[in-house]
Chains A and B, each alone.
Chain A
Amino acid sequence: MSVHVPHPDLPPPAASVGAVGWARSNLFSSWFNTLLTLAALYLLYITIPPLVKWAVIDADFAGSTRDACTGEGACWVFIKVRFYQFMFGFYPPGEYWRAVCAFLLIGGLVVYLLVDGSPRKGWVVGFTVFVYPVIAFFLFYGGLGLEVIDTHKWGGLMLTLIISTVGMFFALPFGIILALGRQSSMPVAKSVCVVFIELWRGVPLITILFMSSVMLPIFMPEQLEIDKLARALIGIVFFQSAYMAEVIRGGLQAMPKGQYEAADALGLGYWPAMFLIILPQALKTVIPGIVNTFIALFKDTTLVLIIGLFDILAIIQSAFTDPKWLGFSKEGYLFAAAVFWIFCFSMSRYSQHLERKLHTGHAR
């Protein structure tokens, strides 16, 4: 019986690791690759330095009037000066705290619900669904001792967030009902749901917004005047619930048949089975899909500009018409793009993290 003397671990040959090795295999592994690398480097050379020069080096950051923007670079003073307007629209500055409170509250609630293992989630869901909307309504709109602020004063990023959250809030339950209806074995329910879903998914959002802002007043009795923002929200909820229904349907279809059968075997009726067993699991698996539709909705809220609501993009655009600040459209659009990018990128990163956690990524 011999005792084996192990071979020592040797370092790899120099030319295959380290910076040199990495460059050889990643950048210069063939003549074609070398060509690509050089072309790419040239492309970066002609785009990045001028951009950095304009946006940072030559840019003006300090000051509060037009005169502060003298340089050849970007005029970020423009953004600084009108920052609060971009954030809150025409909301009275003295009442900003109300909006901030409402957002912090919902933000906290959502984070609590998404973190694993937080206690008493059921109560928190109930609070979020039934109590929070009332609180939010009074905070934003007024009444109960708070000054009433009409919806046409709501604008900026605040309005964007309100539209997307409210849209999502109603689209989720609506979408669940539609998804269940589409899966139903009752032909009438199924057809109604299919028609509804395909209708709202098949037309551009802009036509839906036109429809709800122009045609809703015609559809309703004369005496009922619907607020402009409410009209847009109705259109958005219909649109979003159709997409939500398809996402949820995917989750329902991916459920193993055994779950439905186990629920039946226990003697649970249709609705108890849905609420206690099927939906919690199905919704959990499609949370990444739900987040993705939320991201899409968030980007789509910019369309309300076209029907005259003042979301952040519309406010920025209207700022361009101020005679004191002409010619800064680049800075304005880049700022708007940056705000959206930060939100959307973070949310999509979170959604990818969730997909990895739930193993529902590209499963094939």
Chain B
Amino acid sequence: MAQPRKPSSTSWWNNAQYRALFFQVLLVLGVGLFFLFIVKNTLHNLEQRGIATGFDFLGQRAGFGINQHLVPYSEDSTYGRTFIVGLLNTMLVSGLGIIFATMLGVVAGVARLSSNWIVRKIATVYVEIFRNIPLLIQIFFWYFSVLRTLPSPKQSLHLGQSFFLNIRGVYLPQPIYESGFGWVVLALLAGIVFVIMLKIWAKRRQDQTGEQFPVLLVSLVVLFGLPGLVYFAMGAPLSWELPELKGFNYVGGMVVVPELAALLLALTIYTGTFIAEIVRSGILAVSHGQTEAASALGLRPGKVLQLVIFPQAMRVIIPQMTSQYLNLTKNSSLATAIGYPDLVAVFAGTTLNQSGQAIEIIAMTMAVYLTLSLVISMFMNWYNQRTLLRER
């Protein structure tokens, strides 16, 4: 009969699990001590400088002006308001930047794959030049060397009597919505609903009978035609307020301040190069054999793109594209350098300088960007999961 074996005794140091536990405890202690050290110093230093902690400062009067605000703002507004104004400005420039950069990037990316030699070369030159020049230099160039050298309002460059370009900005006509325009908007919404239902109906019809319906054409006609009809039926309820020169400045109309224009131009051109590369590599990633097999089956080039190439290219393109959108949003913070009042410039800049509440302000600012980053990360994970190509 075998003797019961005694459990072998190794020292806890050599036991893998204990080692891991020990190391982690050390890590937690180390990190904890580090933070304690910092907090102790911080409290001491803040006391020395007479700076209060806490978020009460958000209710204090700001006392400075902001030259572009999407919500009402004046010097009497609070610091909290400056946060909102800055945030909205950041979202404005990021949103417009994303739209324009995508348009430019997709065109350039497709152009780089064109069978036309000149078009291909121009797109390549565009990408290779602007990708390798720092964004800040591009912003400065547009702002200081181009927009600030425009003539004074009295000698503006102009297109007819409606569009003016001068050192104070880009002046556009402002649309004035009269009564009745609400119906046009309703017509547009109705058109969108109709197009969605049309797509569903057309797909069902194709499944059942095999016949294809020109959905795209009809959708375009409806989306433009229906609101258009309503517009004229209501007696054209849209007038334009043209900018007019009064004294030294233009009054009326819409103005795009040069800071926004320069930032937008630079962000679009710079980010456009990265998007172009993403689009190009996404399409190239789909092997040529796919196109051959689809063509051999008799599919027309348009359908080959729609049914075979794009679905596969999008898997690669979308995650990288959202990454670039995030980069563009973070890069918009360079607005500080030319005085465009975005979140960083207005809140982590002026407000911080005036109130001295560095920690709270920088924490809030970072929190905004961090939240955005995490939201976009989660979206990308969800998208990747959904479109994962199933393998054994």
Asked if the two chains touch in their complex, CB atoms less than 8 Å apart, one says yes
- Measured CB to CB, the residues of A under 8 A from B are 25-27, 29, 33, 36-37, 40-41, 43-44, 185-189, 192, 198-199, 201-207, 210-211, 214-215, 217-222, 295, 299-300, 302-303, 305-306, 313, 317, 320, 329-330, 333-334, 336-337, 340-341, 344-345, 348, 362, 364
Expressed in whole angstroms, the minimum distance between the Cβ of B183 and any Cβ of chain A is 40
A37 touches B118 (CB 8 A): yes
A41, A201, A337 pick with most chain B CB within 10 angstroms: A337
**Pair B133/A341 contact, Cβ less than 8 Å:** yes
Is the beta-carbon distance between B48 and A222 smaller than 8 angstroms?
A: yes
Q: Which residue of B lies closest to A341 (CB)?
A: B132
Q: Indicate which residue in A201, A215, A341 contacts B362 across the interface (CB closer than 8 Å).
A: A215
What's the nearest-Cβ distance from chain A to residue B159, in Å?
17
State whether B369 touches A204 (Cβ < 8 A).
yes
Q: Is the CB of A299 within 8 A of B134?
A: yes
Closest CB in chain A relative to B25 CB, distance in Å: 8
A206 contacts B336, C-beta separation under 8 Å: yes
- B41:A221 contact, CB within 8 angstroms: yes
Pick from B46, B348, B370: contact of A199, CB under 8 Å: B370
The answer to whether B45 touches A222 (Cβ under 8 A) is yes
Interface footprint category on B: 35 or more
Determine if B42 is an interface residue (Cβ-Cβ < 8 Å). Answer: yes
Q: Contacts A215-B358, A340-B137 given: A27-B132 contact, CB under 8 Å?
A: no
What are the 7 closest A-B residue pairs judged by CB atoms, nearest first? A202-B373, A344-B132, A188-B24, A204-B330, A26-B117, A299-B134, A204-B333
Q: Does B145 contact A (CB under 8 A)?
A: yes
Q: Select from chain A the residue with minimum beta-carbon distance to B330.
A: A204
B129 at the binding interface (Cβ < 8 Å): yes
B330 in contact with A43 (CB, 8 Å)? no
Chain B interfacial positions (CB closer than 8 Å to A): 20, 23-24, 27-28, 31, 38, 41-42, 44-46, 48, 114-119, 122, 128-129, 131-138, 140-141, 144-145, 281, 284-285, 287, 316, 330-331, 333-334, 336-337, 344, 348, 352, 358-359, 362, 365-366, 369-370, 372-374, 377
- Cα A198 to Cα B373 with chains together (Å): 8
* Chain B residues positioned under 8 Å from A215 (CB to CB): 358-359, 362
Min CB gap B301→A, angstroms? 12
Which one, B116, B137, B373, contacts A333 given CB within 8 A?
B137
Cross-chain contact of B337 among A40, A203, A210, A305 (Cβ < 8 A): A305
B114 — which chain A residues lie within 8 A by C-beta? 36
In angstroms, how far is the closest chain A Cβ from the Cβ of B389?
11
Neighbour of B45 across the interface among A29, A199, A217, A306, CB < 8 A: A217
Given A26-B115, A337-B141, are A302 and B132 neighbors across the interface (CB < 8 Å)? no
Q: Do B134 and A302 have beta carbons less than 8 Å apart?
A: yes
CB of A356 to closest CB in B, whole Å: 15
Smallest distance from the beta carbon of A138 to chain B beta carbons, Å? 31
**Docked-complex contact B117 and A207, CB < 8 angstroms:** no
When distances are taken between beta carbons in the complex, the residues of chain A under 8 Å from B344 are 204, 206-207, 210
Min CB gap A153→B, angstroms: 23
A348–B127 alpha-carbon span in the complex (Å): 13
Known: A202-B373, A204-B333, A306-B336. A214 touches B27 (CB 8 A): no
A27 near B137 with CB under 8 A, answer no
| CB-defined contacts of B145 to chain A, threshold 8 Å | 329-330, 333
- B residues in contact with A40, CB < 8 Å: 116, 118-119, 122
CB neighbours of B369 from chain A (8 A): 202-204, 207
Q: List 30 A-B contacts (CB under 8 A).
A: A25-B115, A37-B116, A37-B119, A40-B122, A43-B122, A188-B24, A189-B27, A192-B27, A198-B370, A202-B370, A206-B344, A207-B333, A207-B344, A207-B362, A210-B344, A214-B358, A218-B46, A221-B44, A222-B44, A295-B132, A299-B133, A302-B136, A306-B334, A306-B337, A313-B137, A320-B144, A330-B141, A340-B132, A341-B129, A345-B128
> What is the distance, in angstroms, from A95's C-beta to the closest C-beta of chain B?
28
> Which residues of B lie under 8 Å from residue A333 when comparing CB positions?
137, 140-141, 144-145
- Residues of chain B within 8 A (CB-CB) of A222 are 41, 44-45, 48
A336 to B141, CA, bound (A): 10
Question: CA of A6 to CA of B116 in the docked complex: distance in angstroms?
Answer: 38
Question: Which of B20, B129, B137, B140 is A186 in contact with, Cβ under 8 Å?
Answer: B20
